[in-house]
Structures are given as C-alpha cells and as structure tokens.
Amino acid sequence: MQLTLNVNGAKRVVEAEDETPLLYVLRNDLKLKGARFGCGLGQCGSCTVIVDGVAVQSCDVPVSAVLGKSVTTIEGIGDDKRLHPLQQAFIDHQAGQCGYCASGIIMAAKALLDANPAPSDSDIRKALARNLCRCGTHQRILRAIRSVRAPGEATR
C-alpha cells in the first residue's frame, strides 16, 4: 500500500505494508543508510531516529506508527558541508571508533539536547541507556556530548 511519510522535512511516498519496520523503509525504500540494523529487537540503538522529538529504535517501530509524524534521521541533521554540532563533536573527541553505533547515539543525544539543552551527566547516561557501543568509547562519547550542551551545567 502507498504510505506518505515526513522524513527529514520532506514528504516521501513509499510502497510498504503497515507493519513493515520503519528501519526497513528508511534503508531499503528511501536509501537512507545512517540508521543501521543491529539487533532487530530495539535493544542496541544502532537504528535510532527521532520521531516528533523522541528518540526511537526504528527496527522496533512499524512504519504505520509514524504516519503524520516527523521522522528525522542522521542524514537530516547535517551533511559533509555543514555538520551538526554533535557530529563535529564526535569527530573532535574521536568518539566513534568503528562508527557503527555513532549515528544512533548522535540521534539519541540530539533528542535529549533538543528537549534539555543543559542536561546533567546523569541525564545523558539515561538518554543513551538504549544505545550500545561495543568498541568501548563511552568516555569519549560522553565528552563529545558534554561539549555541545549549554554552558554552566553541573556534571552531576
């Protein structure tokens, strides 16, 4: 069936069944490869996108659940000519080792910072609880996100 989605600020029409995971539509139909397939169970966060301001695991969300909502992928926040501040911070702090999880973590962090520009370290950890990094760059990831938050926030 034909479905109309709002992805990265543009209306996109796709042919998909209602229960098709959003991740599959993004990657296969819309050719947006930033959200990655990791576990397929909504537990690793590699597929995180933002839906109406909330970070969600797109492998675990049927495409029908986002009809009429705004979906933002990593491709929608910056590009090679103008990176989003979080993308630049990940580069500056060498926060991505293999990079597989990076787009999902950046999207979870963006949703947090959009809702709370000055999150505490505890807020950051809580927002990233559903995002796994197997390379062990957690401290660099936290430093990168801290560098983007609004000034004056305590570290606790």
Percent of the chain with pLDDT over 90: 77
Question: What number is the average pLDDT over the span 21-29?
Answer: 98
Question: What number is the average pLDDT over the span 86-112?
Answer: 91
Please check whether residue 32 is in contact with residue 20, taking contact to mean a CB–CB distance below 8 angstroms.
no
Q: Examine residue 155 and state whether it is found in any structural domain, yes or no.
A: no
Sheet holding 54-57, edge to edge: 10-15, 2-7, 70-72, 48-51, 54-57
Q: Say whether both 43 and 98 belong to one domain.
A: no
Q: How many domains does the structure of the chain reveal?
A: 2
Q: Say whether both 68 and 97 belong to one domain.
A: no
Query: pTM of this prediction?
Result: 0.92
Q: pLDDT tens across 50-60, in order?
A: 999 999 999 99
Q: Which of 41-45, 114-118, 138-142 has the lowest mean pLDDT?
A: 41-45
